[in-house]
């Protein structure tokens, strides 16, 4: 795809971010819950801004969102060596990707995840699209959690 800017669909590293959340007394119940927290968005906002500082303008991430689940080889989203299967991800998350490149701030999610043992879980949530040109207060607002 030829887009005017770069955007990122970020999966948090649950073991790392959950430890950070516990150290900062941030309560959460699941990956989806933790990835939707304002404090988690603020943490990732700061990290993306740090990365962007060292990049030329055309390589900087302009928008990002935190995905409600980890990409998973069992869902066909990753190879067994943990490489992203871009075609599968582009197809499966087309609505989210379209929203990131549109004027949408919130993307509603209503999906079912099938686990390896065959059990299913319905996830009904939303993900926020953060435009880094407009979100300058996100990283500094309120109490600043310590970095992971």
Interval 46-93: pLDDT, tens: 999 999 999 999 999 999 999 999 998 888 899 989 999 999 999 999
Query: Whole-structure pTM over 0.85, yes or no?
Result: no
* Phi, psi of 9, deg, nearest 5: -105, 105
Helix, strand, coil % in the chain, rounded to nearest 5: 35, 20, 45
Total domains present in the chain: 1
Q: What is the mean pLDDT of the chain?
A: 87
User: What is the rounded CA–CA span in Å between residue 132 and residue 15?
Assistant: 26
Instruction: Classify residue 43: in a domain, yes or no.
Output: yes
Instruction: Classify residue 117: in a domain, yes or no.
Output: yes
Instruction: Classify residue 50: in a domain, yes or no.
Output: yes
- C-alpha distances (whole Å) from 135 to each of 49, 62, 110 are 11, 10, 26
Token pair for residue 113?
A: 């995840």
Residues 96-118: tens digit of each pLDDT: 999 899 888 999 999 888 777 88
Question: How does residue 140 score in pLDDT terms, banded at 50, 70 and 90?
Answer: very low
User: What is the rounded CA–CA span in Å between residue 98 and residue 122?
Assistant: 22
Look up the domain containing 29 and give its range: 6-131
Instruction: Classify residue 148: in a domain, yes or no.
Output: no
Expressed in angstroms, the distance from the first to the final Cα of the chain is: 33
């Amino acid at each position: 795809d030829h887009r005017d800017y770069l955007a990122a669909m970020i999966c948090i590293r649950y073991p790392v971010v959950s430890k950070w959340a516990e150290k900062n007394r941030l309560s959460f119940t699941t990956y989806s819950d933790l990835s939707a927290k304002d404090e988690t968005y603020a943490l990732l906002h700061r990290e993306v801004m740090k990365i962007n500082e060292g990049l030329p303008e055309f390589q900087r991430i302009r928008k990002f969102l935190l995905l409600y689940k980890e990409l998973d080889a069992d869902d066909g989203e990753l190879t067994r060596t943990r490489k992203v299967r871009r075609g599968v991800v582009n197809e499966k998350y087309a609505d989210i990707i379209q929203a990131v490149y549109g004027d949408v701030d919130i993307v509603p999610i209503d999906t079912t995840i099938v686990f390896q043992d065959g059990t299913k879980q319905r996830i009904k949530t939303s993900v926020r699209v953060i435009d880094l040109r407009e979100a300058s207060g996100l990283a500094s607002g309120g109490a600043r959690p310590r970095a992971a």
